[in-house]
A and B are shown apart, each in its own frame.
Chain A
Amino acid sequence: MKKDIILCGVGGQGILSIATVIGEASTEAGLYLKQAEVHGMSQRGGDVQSNLRLSTDPIWSDLIPKGEADLIISMEPMEALRYLPYLSKQGTIVTSSKPFVNIPNYPEESELMAELDSMPSVVKLDIESVAKDAGNARGANMVLLGMAAPYLEILSVEQLRKAISVIFARKGEAVVEANLKAFDCGVAASKG
């Protein structure tokens, strides 16, 4: 079994934390993993993405070929669309529904949403509001990971929860609990 995932968003939205949690869970589960990140200039308010490949068998390429991503997990709706050529025909998009507008030529929101909705498998949620309601305004990325969890298949919800505990442990118990709560809200809002 293998899962090819594109994680994306805008620099500073915390996609690398999502990648780190999935990476920890995969390592713990004994899966093969490759995770190509973007560092450097693109961090500053520009588009960022990470190619994440999980498999029970060895993985060759660090990059996902076009048309082979099982999942696009995006912190921002337009950024989800940026990677459409990489999505497989049966693939799913899990995305925040709230545009992050830091450019003058951001597309018309209703048309953007219509294009997203025209895709066969899309899960959208205002993850920032959910995170705020859960008392963890900075936990939107963990809400998103929770939403994506049921689609990951190669990793269980429990394995991901454990990884969150490990990754955030050095920041203290309160941070771990807040992130788990955000994650659980995401899971509940997803297909469950």
Chain B
Amino acid sequence: MEKKLLLGDEAIALGAIHAGLSGVYAYPGTPSTEITEFIQTNPLAQERGIHSHWSTNEKTAMEAALGMSYAGKRALVCMKHVGMNVCADAFINSAITGVNGGLIVLAADDPSMHSSQNEQDSRFYGKFAMIPIFEPSNQQEAYDMMDKAFALSEELKEPVLMRIVTRLAHSRAAVEVKEPRQENAFSPATDNAHWVLLPGNAKRNYNDLIGKQQAMREASEASVFNKAETGSQESSIDGKKLGIIACGIGYNYVREAIGDSMNVLKVSQYPLPATAIKELADKSNELLVVEDGQPVVEEDVKALLGKDYTVKGRLTGNLPRTGELTPDSVGAALGKESSAAYGTAKNLAGRPPQLCQGCGHRDVYGALREIIDEYPDARVFGDIGCYTLGALPPFKALASCVDMGASITMAKGAADAGLRPAIAVIGDSTFTHSGMTGLLDAINENSSITVIISDNLTTGMTGGQDSAGTNKYEAICLGLGMNPDHLHVVTPLPKNIPAIAQLIRDEIAYEGVSVIIPRRECIQTAARHARERKLKS
């Protein structure tokens, strides 16, 4: 078999292609972006015409993937964990409609918040929707699972959730690949009663979903990805026989720390294999749950075994309550002595990320900084993107950053409460993702806010993917009902900072919605495009 060196994300992408994928739908988000990027450039995917165009947001992606599944094809939808919140309506209801072609929803969680605003655990969403969850422990398993997960989805006629974490998404290892499977035939669903979620149909479907839970549990008990391993030595710590439940990549840290010495139940497919857990509990005095993210399994195992059985994990402080697992934290929980020889260096300073030198967002903040200094009551409501770095020195310009699109709506709410000047800063891609509806609210009430759509013609923070609204921003704003007198496009360059600041001053004075669009290409994508032109010529 052929071996390829792949990121976890790439293993998932190739696994999906080889499993007969017909379309991937996604909005870029670290650490999930590379899945779709891989499919966009893969020769077999191109030859087969696999859909891989970026979606406007995770909800449109989820719904389009469900539509492709409806037509009988295998579809994949990818997002970072917070994208699950955006697509939750479609996601939860896809378990009520069920699927036709196999549908995998991939959520890339980011414990430790390397590049995120929370560390929510997507396994909760899987439980909430009552569907199977796959959680690979390594790159090979990530690849192998795709075909199995599609097959299970088609067998159960339900979507399945695949949950990964940053350390798997962005770590490379060799993966053995298989012969590609053909795509599914085009065969649209015909059972309207299943797909039209009127209450009468939905009640029946919901009962069907509950009826499938037993089959989901049986699939987990029989899964090749869940494995009870008997330790080579008497499995004990402090004289007590310890059993370990190791979920996803937690399994690797356990094996790194103690080799194959203890009794371990590896869990990579949910619902939890309850029988295997009870068997491990019977052999042990207590259990340690090693899971990356939130204590999802720890709570469930406690509920399964009752209050008299000792279950240790993140809730009991045996593992840290927050942050990603590390070989060190898992080693410590298993009694392994650290071999650390040196402490933290004395001559060390933090080096936070920064806006690139020459970036147009810098000039926007150059102007905004003048405004903030002039108007002590001004608040600049920020959003999600590179420009969130405007919160850090030297700009220190942002009052908030919460979720995709919240800049406009929070500015509106604050303005409704009397805050002046209320300014929103949002990027072009974030605006089409979730800002347009908020702008419509503001226009309908002519709220006194000044919205800056900082347009760099790309989705910058995730590496420069296409932005859904490029070349359409003025038309979108006018279409939503913007007064053209208060819609301006400027070029963010250092020499234009005074003029941009003056424009902001003028629009702040206007008691109504203003939109200023500073537009200049991201310097990273501009450099890349220049290189590509050079190569062509």
Contact = CB atoms under 8 A, between A and B. Distances in A.
B331 interface: yes
Given A62-B252, A67-B340, A84 B167 contact: no
Nearest to A106: B349
B348 A82 contact: yes
Interface residues of A, number: 53
B494 interface: no
Nearest to A89: B341
A182 interface: no
A35 B462 CA distance: 20
B523 to A, nearest CB: 11
Nearest to B460: A44
Nearest to B110: A40
B149 interface: no
A36 B171 contact: yes
Contacts of B342: 67, 84-85, 87
A105 B349 contact: yes
B346 interface: yes
A103 B350 contact: yes
Given A33-B174, A61-B252, A40 B354 contact: no
Given A33-B5, A46-B352, A102-B354, A39 B256 contact: no
A40 B171 contact: no
Contact of B252 (A11, A60, A64): A60
Contacts of B3: 27
Interface string A52-83: 00000001111111111000000000110110
B434 interface: no
A158 interface: no
B172 A67 contact: no
B353 A44 contact: yes
B331 A36 contact: no
B347 A111 contact: yes
A156 interface: no
A61 B327 contact: yes
A66 B31 contact: no
A78 B346 CA distance: 10
Nearest to B388: A41
Given A33-B174, A34-B173, A62-B249, A41 B353 contact: yes
Interface of A: 10-11, 23-24, 27, 32-47, 51, 59-68, 78-79, 81-82, 84-89, 91, 102-108, 111-112, 115
Interface of B: 3, 5, 7, 30-31, 33-34, 114-115, 167-168, 170-174, 249, 252-253, 255-256, 326-328, 331, 338-356, 386, 389, 393, 461-463
Given A27-B3, A34-B172, A60-B255, 16 more contacts: A10-B351, A35-B171, A35-B173, A37-B172, A40-B30, A41-B461, A47-B350, A63-B253, A67-B342, A78-B348, A81-B345, A81-B348, A84-B342, A102-B354, A115-B345, A115-B347
